[in-house]
Amino acid sequence: CTSGTQIHTELVELGGLEAITLEPPQWPVSDDTVLHLATAEGLATGWLEGEALLQELAQRYVTAMSDMEGRKPGPTSILGTSQLRPGEPAGYRIPFNPTGTGCGAAMRSLAIGLRY
């Protein structure tokens, strides 16, 4: 919906902001949101840099993939995160996927600008 008036009307019908509880399953978030939050949380550690930060991000992505019930991560996300090996030397590196598609990386990158 692109109508501010309609959005406000529907909000009133829901009982206003105070009446809304943003909890699944009524208000689910997407796989991209889950992985975006993993990025943001990893970057928000503040004190990690370099390899330690990359390992932290890899671990958060692997952990986030266990929260995909009811979501639809694409094959590129599934393959990429399955190749991560946090804790191993360079375990945050995965091979380039020439057949990878989608824009998930772009959707998960906003938090990078918030840190840097």
pLDDT tens for 16-70 read: 988 888 776 777 889 999 999 999 999 998 889 999 999 999 999 999 999 998 8
Any domain includes 37? yes
Any domain includes 6? no
Any domain includes 110? yes
- In angstroms, the Cα distances linking 81 to 2, 7, 13, 57, 76 are 34, 36, 41, 11, 8
Any domain includes 104? yes
Any domain includes 63? yes
Segments forming the whole domain that contains residue 36: 23-115
pLDDT of residue 22: 77
The tally of domains found in the chain comes to: 1
Residue pair 79/97 in contact by the 8 Å Cβ criterion: yes
Any domain includes 18? no
67 annotated ligand-binding residue: no
Pick from 14, 104, 18, 92: nearest CA to 50: 92
